[in-house]
Structure 1
Amino acid sequence: MNKTVNINIGGLFFHIDEDAYQKLSRYFDAIKRSLSNSSGKDEIMKDIEMRVAELLTEKQKSDKHVINNKDVDEVIVVMGQPEDYRIDDDGTESKSEPFFAATGRKKLYRDKDRGLIGGVCTGLGHYFGVDAVWIKIIFLLLAFTSFGVIAYLILWIATPKAVTTSEKLEMTGEPVTISNIEKKVREEFESVSNKFKNANYDEMGNQVKNGAERVAGGLGDVIMKIFGAFAKVLGAIILVFSAMSLAGLFIGLFTFGTTSFIDAPWQRYVEAVNYTDIPLWAFGLLAFLAIGIPLFFFLLLGLKLLVSNMKSLGAAVKYSLLAIWIFAVGSLVVIGIKQSTESAFEGKVVTKETINIQPTDTLKIKFVSNDFFSKNVYEHEEFIFTQDSAKNEVIYSNQISFEIKSTDKTEPYLQIEKLADGKSFKEANERAEKIKYGFKIVGNQLLLDNYLLTEMASKFRDQRVELYLYLPKGTVFVADETVQHFDESDNDFFNLHHSSDEYIYKVDENKVKCLNCPADENEYNDVEGGVQTEEINIIDETDSTETVTVKINGKVVTETKSGKKDKKGKLTVGSDGVIIKTE
């Protein structure tokens, strides 16, 4: 069995038997002798060793594979014999090709020597067999998209640079043989030498300058064309948007402004919320000028982007439109301020009406509607325009609130507060005085209107009525189901149970209590979240013990009691959560 030797060829380690090692050493020595008079001998030998290392790597079937004579012979066949590739100084070969010529196979590398930036485009040109100029043009066009830049960077990072002579031969598809390696190295040396010998530095400077100018000019033309196309598209978008906006603005504001001249259904509602005395057509015109003039200039901008030789407006027209726009915007600001000040103050008119009922009577509270205006007591309108029975135009509204409070007086009374907004307290109070609201006391019934009326001249200024029913301690009352739609009482004092209108309430010292509400509806809350109890019967037998379980708010409470025979009782939980036994 032959001995094995570990050798380093081209930076790679190989296990090789002794006979194969001696043959490979003689092969390298023969190559060195054939290159003894060649310029760049060291560079050629380095490239040959790297190529041999690549071929030997392909022969390895595993990490423990040992290179033998057969592997070395196959490498020599591919690389050729040294005497077959001797190149004289005049550049002629002694023999044209080895008997077994290796065919070239292209590999993708970056050609840094001929590339401008990273050599990606030039390397792709070698690989696909096309002029690198076309590849550069494609990447230049794609550079205006994120894809082009990302693709170039990925290729730059992933593609290795052709550094050695073997890699440069593989990049162009030439066979990596001794003759080609030597020829390539000699050509590079001669090229560099000739450049230094024949260099005309002034001419080179001019060529570089002219080339840079051509590249910059061509790049500038491409960029200008791309930006020109983008400007055309942008101009078309701006033109369409501006034209449609102007048309819509004109139609909308024209329709809005002409309500002053025609009897439109919505005219009264628009005028009702117009707190100023400015006609609607004037407001519409100012709004059209304030919004339309900027849209008009956008329209001109779109036309200029589409039509390059379009004439511009004169300075007089521009400054005139600017002055009109400033006037319109300023007027709208003034109108807005005036509109807000028209409702800056709140007026209030208060009246009190005593409710004459016996202390032992149960007061019944109910809201009623007027069949002339609405047959549904639950209907709620913020404000509408209608006519009363005398054919007078009025504003109808259901802005009514109701609240129950306690009083130290001996008799209950109803406090009616009429409220409205205005630009001053005086005007607001005058508008509040014109609110019409009615109620009736029929026996022990308090019948409250569910609406208010005011005249058209008052316009809509958030007119509303707030009702406060003051009840002395001990007063018993019943709230009709209609009350819940208007009730805004403090829940800590009076919590109206919505589950029934037959519950009886009594005014206590600090709160109103429900006298006949179910056990699962305490006086604070009649919905989920309050104290919930389960009532059960307890049967106590003589000398016996009973365990009672009660659920309170989802928690189980267990009580064990002893008692006498035939004694029955009930276990309940009070409002404070205390378990109470009743006989």
Structure 2
Amino acid sequence: MKKNITINLCGRLFQIDEDAYELLQHYIESLRHSFGKSEGGDEIVDDIEARIAELFTELREQGNEAITIDHVKAIISRIGEPEQLTENEESDKSDKAHKFDSFNSAAQGVYDNVRKRTCGKKLFRNPNDKMVAGVLSGLAKYTDTDPVIWRLLTVLFSAFYGVGIIIYIVLAIILPEARTPEQLLQMEGKAVTPQHLADIVVDKDQSTTQKPNLFRSLFAIILKILFGFFVGIASIVAIILFCGFLFALVVLVSALTFPVNSYMPFSLQAMGLAELYETNPMILIIFVFSLFMMLLIPIYAIVHMLLSLSKKVQPMGIAQRIAWILLWIVALCSIIPCSISMAKFRHEQRTKEYFHTHIYQDVLMDDNDMDFMRHGEWNLIKAEDCAHYTAHGEYFDGNKSVRYLDTYNDECRAIYQVERKQAVEPGIYRLDCIARAEGPGSFVYAIGDSKMLTSIPAYGNRGGELAAQIKKELSHMLASDSLNDVGIDESTKEVDIKGMKFVLTDLHQDNKKKLKRICKGYGWSIVSIDNIVVTGDSITYGVSTDEGFTGHPYRAKWFSATDFKLTRTGDLPHIKNDKTRHPRIKRNKRR
């Protein structure tokens, strides 16, 4: 049983059903809204109302006592929707006016087509035809296209670094789902009328009984697998974010609780930020606030999504979701410059502390350089434009822990001279060491009665004379069963090359890798200075790149030297003469 209403339309009375009246009233209001801003719009609506009254009169003359919703639908389809009437009016005006060129006409046609497809619609996620979240089906409803097209495009874009999946997840977060019948009608661009509401309910019941085809089922399985994979990753990220939030909270509470100058864990002093807090606290405040926002917003969004899926809270609206995303982006843009400023401050602070606490002979150097110089009793004569003063990692036998004299300057401008003084008896001596250089201009020197120089061979850090000599001395080692067969002392693991004994650590009979590392050489060569005459009580020796001392320009980026050994090779000539004359004097006295 339906309720009838008596209406007055253009001075005529008609009996009409209640749902038909609501549809008619919505149609006339849509007409007034469409034509209200145009010139003569009210007259057009009045003419349409008069035409509807004439059609109602014809229905009554045919024996229809009451106008039903089917009669109103038929009349609306006969007259046309407001959008169609507006487009017809605009097309009439455009025919009277000037014509666009071909490009503008094509663009206008595309715009009109898109506007026609989306006019009066709202974008929702479609729950009635979804495979994962209903995003693509909602886009298909909004643009009046086939959902398969959108699904194929998603798969295609997903092949490009997962762009399609990322866009899908973002839209699934932003777009609300059409849950109520009113939202379903808005998604399709239909008027909210009792008849349309009834049709939505019937269509929903029919859609639940439809059986999906093979392609739809296969596509749904693929998308669900991909979506499940990213949901798993998102869950792991959420757990990590939550743990990071708890850790950041503990650090913040500790930093605020402990005094600024305290060395307790997580205090500002322990983290090296006490001075920054005193000089520029706003950087720390902005950093902490932005960090908490970056962690809390994703956690809140995930929890809210889970609660909405369980029907405990309403889903977020589009405006709320966009606001949270913009706020998270603002927090990210704030935390990046703060992090850069804090890292720069910590680097400057560490550099300042580092160099002010390690000074050796008025030269700033690190702890390793200072210890090597101090323990080796090396005196730093000159040090200009030197990146460092010692190094390790490329010792001739592959032992990366052995440290040696070394300096570096990419522009070949390092002036580096280091020496030490050794007490000796008068005599003739030889100085041996192993050294290497990237280019010419570095020298090993010895000062006895006079200054003697020998240049360091420039083999770079590959090969070198020492490696060639070791290969020659140990050429039969790979085929030998005993180290003694090739001149190596098995108890000390020493090899004698030109009078210098080199200890080959960790060398066993079956250890062939050690020999291979030794044969790389790393550019080392044996550098010797022979016939050093000493009539005093000491010899000074060292290395130098100073052109004023060596007389040669320095054109190397780096050089290295180590294993200095001083050997007495003979007596002074006048001492030998005294020993030969002394017996003759005694014989003369006996005579």
TM-score per shorter chain, which class? Answer: under 0.3
The structure with the greater share of residues assigned to strand is: 1
- Tell me which of the two structures has the higher relative contact order, counting C-alpha pairs closer than 8 angstroms and 6 or more residues apart: 2
Rg (Cα) greater in structure: 1
TM-score when normalising by structure 2? 0.27
The structure with the greater share of residues assigned to helix is: 2
